Chains A and B, each alone.
Chain A
Amino acid sequence: MTLVVLRHALRQVRRSLVVLPLAAGAFYYLVLFSSSSFVRAQPRSPFLQRPPRATEAFLGGPIDFLSPAGWLAAAMTHPITLALLAGAALSVAAGAVATEVERGTLDLVLARPVPRRSFLLAKAAASLVAVAAVEVGALVGVLVARATVARVDEVPLWDVGWAFVGAWLLFGALGMVGILVSARSSLRGRAIGLSVGAVVAWFFVRFVALLIDEVSGLRFVSPFHYFRPAQLLQGEPFGWDPLVLLALGGVALGLAVWWFERRDLSR
């Protein structure tokens, strides 16, 4: 039953599942392709040698623009990547319940012997698959760049893999937050708005925390803090970050199931 709903949920976003990975792959390739001239020439521009703090805060921490790993880290925290991954996660997650309630299709599904829990878990799985699809697209872009762009292959594949796992965990967790919002909502627009709002707010909190020392402690409340590709691509260990992201996703999904099993489904 769960597989049927999962297949159906993925089918509903099949165009996004083609377009978003292609866009992610193209973006990563372009970033790494652009990086080659900087890495080769090693320009002495103060901006590149010591980027402004706001730029670093925006990209999630110190970035080395003179190494391929730094450029890849910048690509992984770039707003375009965030938009692509958040789009993939939330297009399935935020609409999981709310869209079906609003459209009047949920009655048809749940008036069959489909447990609510299975329905929601299938939607959650679809959201994770959608994020994974975009990650795979991006990874293909990196692999093509490794094969065709000078010095990109200096970044160990293992570290690249871990960085992508970190991104998947972050956006998977954000997708579960979207599932939680959707499980409580009957309006698609509201569910998507709230979910996107939460993602933007967390991004902003991390940005402010990295920019202003007095509120630096705030970074811990943002899930974005627990995805640090620059460190991962330098070969630093994951630490507790994946556990925090797993816990966030798990708690959000658990709450979503709890609420969804108890709520009245009325339009």
Chain B
Amino acid sequence: MTAAVEVEGLTKRFGPVTAVRDVSFRVEEGESFGYLGPNGAGKTTTIRCLLGLVRPTAGRLQVLGHDVPAQLGAALAEVGYLPGEFGLWPNMTGEECLDYLASLHPRPPRRREELCERFELSRADLRRQVRFYSRGMRQKVGIVQAFQHDPALAILDEPTEGLDPVMKSRFIELIEEHRRRGGTIFLSSHILSEVEATTERVGVLREGRLVRVGPTSDLRGDRIRHCTLVLGEPVDLAPLRALPGVSALQPDGPVVRFEFRGEVGPLLERLTALPVRDLLVEPERLSEAFFDVYEGEGG
């Protein structure tokens, strides 16, 4: 499979400060990749290197098979980019901003109308000068400009900043739809729920170093589950406590809470022997796994 993004040994120094150190990863075409890390970890610097906005100190970068910066133009012709912090031209209308940005791209903005509808950008909205736009409105225009030409690769830096919950869910739908159409997503965020909902693989960045790359699910539910059991009558919990993978078991009347790691088969088998009235199993939130990885592998 061709790599949509290939980074090898990327290092970027700004004077005495090393923003990114020897980072290597690969994002396959059609994949949705999350780039996680707290503010200042080097996520945006990596993205800016990929887009040729910042020159790497060392390393090799390829976007959709094109070397960056040697073949930057060819690479950017297939990319849609939503910066984390961006502005629009305040004395232009939303429509004029989108027209201007579309005219700088070789692909026609064929998805614009549909995207404006999806994100509830009416004609009246688009005919207002952007200086009167709210943060959310500007973000919607940002999303439309990134996707309007149906790019093969969408690079999104903190894409849901300023969006309300309804628009966030529409954005997640857009990401899923983009992937179904064969597009690639590179999503950088410090909002873990966003990454959890939209990506299949993540890279975790800490102080400029990539400390972990793997499936999002590895960082999530496969590792730990929060279980809540409601029992019909009091029973001896020793057999359950003895089951490998069970920990933090806390009985509270008929309710028993515990954590479980590992294959669920033996757990279910053990539970059939108990008078279970209800069972709730919650996957570990990515945030917990993230901090686990972040603190464990980084420090």
Contact = CB atoms under 8 A, between A and B. Distances in A.
Contact of A264 (B55, B89, B92, B105): B55
Contact of B87 (A8, A104, A115): A104
A104 B91 CA distance: 14
B76 interface: yes
Contact of A110 (B53, B74, B88, B91): B53
A44 interface: no
A236 interface: no
A112 B54 contact: no
Interface of B (DSSP majority class): loop
Contacts of B54: 264-266
B87 A266 contact: no
Given A8-B100, A264-B53, A264-B55, A104 B85 contact: yes
Contacts of B238: none
B83 interface: yes
Contact of A4 (B51, B74, B103): B103
A4 B101 CA distance: 10
Contacts of A104: 83, 85-87
B74 A107 contact: no
Contact of B105 (A5, A107, A112, A265): A112
Nearest to B103: A4
Contacts of A110: 51-53
Contacts of B77: 113
A64 B90 CA distance: 48
Contact of A111 (B53, B87, B103, B106): B53
Contacts of A12: 89, 91
Interface in B87-113: 87-92, 100-101, 103-106
Interface of A: 1, 4-5, 8, 11-12, 103-105, 107-115, 262, 264-267
A267 B53 CA distance: 11
Contacts of A108: 81, 83, 86, 88, 101, 145
Contacts of A5: 104
A4 B87 CA distance: 19
Contacts of A105: 86-89
A111 B51 contact: yes
A111 B81 contact: yes
A266 to B, nearest CB: 6
Contact of B76 (A8, A111, A265, A266): A111
Contact of B83 (A4, A8, A107, A114): A107
B89 A267 contact: no
A113 B106 contact: yes
A105 B53 CA distance: 13
Contacts of A103: 87, 89-90
Which 9 pairs between the two chains have the least Cβ-Cβ distance? A104-B87, A111-B81, A103-B87, A113-B73, A112-B104, A113-B76, A264-B54, A104-B86, A265-B53
Contacts of B92: 11
B102 to A, nearest CB: 9
Contacts of A107: 51, 53, 81, 83, 86
Interface in B149-168: 155
B79 interface: yes
A111 B79 contact: yes
A1 B87 contact: no
A264 to B, nearest CB: 4
A113 B105 contact: yes
Given A12-B89, A113-B74, 20 more contacts: A4-B103, A11-B92, A103-B87, A105-B89, A108-B83, A109-B101, A109-B104, A110-B51, A110-B52, A110-B53, A111-B51, A111-B83, A113-B72, A113-B104, A115-B73, A264-B48, A264-B54, A264-B55, A265-B48, A267-B85
Nearest to A107: B83
B126 to A, nearest CB: 16
Contacts of B104: 1, 4-5, 109, 112-114
A264 B52 CA distance: 9
Contacts of A262: 55
19 contacts: A4-B103, A103-B87, A103-B89, A103-B90, A105-B86, A105-B88, A107-B53, A107-B81, A110-B51, A111-B76, A111-B155, A113-B72, A113-B106, A264-B48, A265-B53, A265-B54, A266-B14, A266-B48, A267-B85
Nearest to B83: A107
Nearest to A3: B103
A90 to B, nearest CB: 18
B158 to A, nearest CB: 13
Contacts of B85: 104, 267
A94 to B, nearest CB: 17
Given A12-B91, A107-B81, A264-B14, A112 B86 contact: no
Contacts of B76: 111-113
Interface in B67-81: 72-74, 76-77, 79, 81
B98 to A, nearest CB: 10
